[in-house]
Each structure stands twice: as C-alpha cells, then as structure tokens.
Amino acid sequence: MGVLGLGTMGSGIAQTALESGIEVFAVELNDELLSKGAARVKDGLERRVRSGKLSSGKSSSLLSSLSLSTDISSFRNCDIIVEAVFENAETKSSALASIGRIAGEGTIVASNTSSISITLLSKGLKYPGNFIGMHFFNPVPVMKLLELVRGYLTTNETVEKAKSIGEKMGKEVVEVRDYPGFVSNRVLMPMINEAAFALMEGIARKEDIDRVMKLGMNHPMGPLELADFIGVDVCLDIMNVLYSGFKDPKYRPCPLLVNMVNAGRTGRKSGEGFYKY
C-alpha cells in the first residue's frame, strides 16, 4: 500500500495497514514531515505495545515493513495507493494527478477525503474507474468503520478490491454513494452544528450539552468535545460542503463555528476550541 501524506489520518492508515501485515510505502513532501509522520506511526505502535496488544519485537518488525520516501515514484509497485493529504480540493486534485502518473491500470487509487466529491476528484485521472473513497475515522487504529465511497465512475471490481483491503485491515466496511457528506458526515456534522447553535443560544453550558449526549445517548464524546477533536475548522468546512452541495438552509453553518475559526480557536490542535487543552 502506498500512503501519500503522513499526518494524523495517513499515519493512522499506515499503522493499521502495517498491523494487518501489509507492506507500506509512505511519501511526504519533505524529510521533516516524513520523520514527524514516521514518529506518529512509531508512537501508535508503542501505544499498542503499552496496552498489551502487540509485543515490542513485533512492533519493530512491523516498522521494518514501512518504507519512507519523498519521491512519489516509490509507489510504482503498489496494489493500492491511498491519498491522505490536506483536505482541500485543489491540494487533493494535484496530489491525485501526481499519483495518476505512477499508478498503472491495475492499481486502486483511493482518497481519504471526508467530504470532497469522489466523482469531482476523479476528473483528470486516466483510470477513474479505479478510483474510490476510503474514508477512515480518527483514531484510525481504534475506529471500526471504513466508509467506502463509490464515485459515479468507480467500477464494481474497484469496490470489491477496496472492500477486501479494508476488511484485511480489520475494518467493517460500509459502502455508500457519492453525495455531499456521504453518510457519516451528513449525519454527524449537523449534530455538531446543532450543538454549537444550542451553545450560542445559551440553552445550556458547553459541558452540559456534552453531558446530555454522553449520558443520554451513550456517545463516547459529547458533540462539542468531538468538534475540538476533529477540528472546528474541519467541521465548518464540511458544513459548507453540505450547504453548497444540497442548497438547503437546514445545513447553514452555525455563526459561532465561523467566529471560532476566524479567531483561530480550532480545537485540540490549536490548544483551544470549545475547551482549553
């Protein structure tokens, strides 16, 4: 498996693939990002060792199946290449164009996009039938779901191959069609957005909004805590994708999310979102 981009999602995908016995070729833009990404994979495996799920010997041998490079041509012999770069349509399209120059007719090319249309991203690819969305969830080694997104041109063969790779990675695979937000974010993000409205309107304190959903619905995290975990900016971007994709006012982003993003309060990664870290 080739993995382009070793950020939070890419390193989680790489770690999960390694743990399932898949050899991984990871590519990043430069050496600094590559070593940061490799450290994330190593930390993830060490976490598994600490929780007794992996021996330290096994963890080192898995790491030896990880090849690191800044040269995309190292994907040359991969059966599947997963793009996990920054969530922006232009960035993803240009990353996919580079992958497209390496990937042969028999190679599956997948994007881990959380909201960008797979059909849109397939534009310009030589083999759009081989292209599919593989939407993993954070933290990838822990979350059971793989949302497989079938673009307008994705072939049945590609769906079947991607499904079997996902299952090999220990995921429960759910196939969905390519409409804004797919299923996961079409359902999740309006909930987070509505929680932000409830806070903005002063209906309850942030801690209490989260407690309602944790204690009443058995969610592991409340919606505001989860927004911080995902990134408030990511949540806002996805609400905008739903709003512009469906042209339906029910998806209008909460102005509090807009203010928070403009203020740089994007959640855990910035040290503050709804909560301080």
Residue whose CB is nearest to ligand 3HC in the complex, by number: 114
Among 31-39, 74-82, 131-139, 244-252, which window interacts with ligand 3HC (CB under 6 A)?
131-139
Listing DSSP states for 54-107 in one string gives S-HHHHHHHHTTEEEES-GGGGTT-SEEEE---S-HHHHHHHHHHHHHH--TT-
Q: Measured at the alpha carbon of residue 109, what is the angle toward residues 153 and 123, in degrees to the nearest 5?
A: 45
From the number of C-beta atoms within 10 Å of its C-beta (0-12, 13-18, 19+), residue 25 rates as buried
Contacts (CB under 6 A) with ligand 3HC, residues 46-85: 47, 51, 53
Task: Answer positive or negative: Cα dihedral of 152, 100, 95, 9.
Answer: positive
Q: Which of 7, 129, 139, 245 binds ligand 3HC (CB under 6 A)?
A: 139
Q: One of 59, 135, 193, 225 is an active-site residue; which one?
A: 135
Among 62-70, 134-142, 205-213, 267-275, which window interacts with ligand 3HC (CB under 6 A)?
134-142
Q: Are 124 and 100 in contact (CB under 8 A)?
A: yes
State both tokens at 263: 């203020």
- Quick note: the x/- pattern for ligand 3HC over 89-128, rule CB under 6 A, is -------------------------x--------------
Distance between CA 270 and CA 277 in Å, rounded? 8
Q: Which of 221, 246, 270, 272 binds ligand 3HC (CB under 6 A)?
A: 221
Q: Measured at the alpha carbon of residue 182, what is the angle toward residues 178 and 183, in degrees to the nearest 5?
A: 135
Compute how many residues bind ligand 3HC; rule: CB under 6 A: 17
- C-alpha to C-alpha distances, 151 to 31, 90, 163, nearest whole angstrom: 33, 18, 14
Whether 160 is catalytic: no
CB of 235 to ligand 3HC, least distance (A): 7
Whether 112 is catalytic: no
CB of 241 to ligand 3HC, least distance (A): 11
Q: Which is nearer to ligand 3HC, 29 or 142 (CB)?
A: 142
Q: Are 9 and 138 in contact (CB under 8 A)?
A: yes
Q: Which of 75, 137, 251, 274 binds ligand 3HC (CB under 6 A)?
A: 137
Whether 114 is catalytic: yes
Active site residues: 114, 135, 147, 185
User: Which residues make up the interface to ligand 3HC (CB under 6 A)?
Assistant: 44, 47, 51, 53, 114, 137-139, 141-143, 185, 220-221, 226, 230, 234
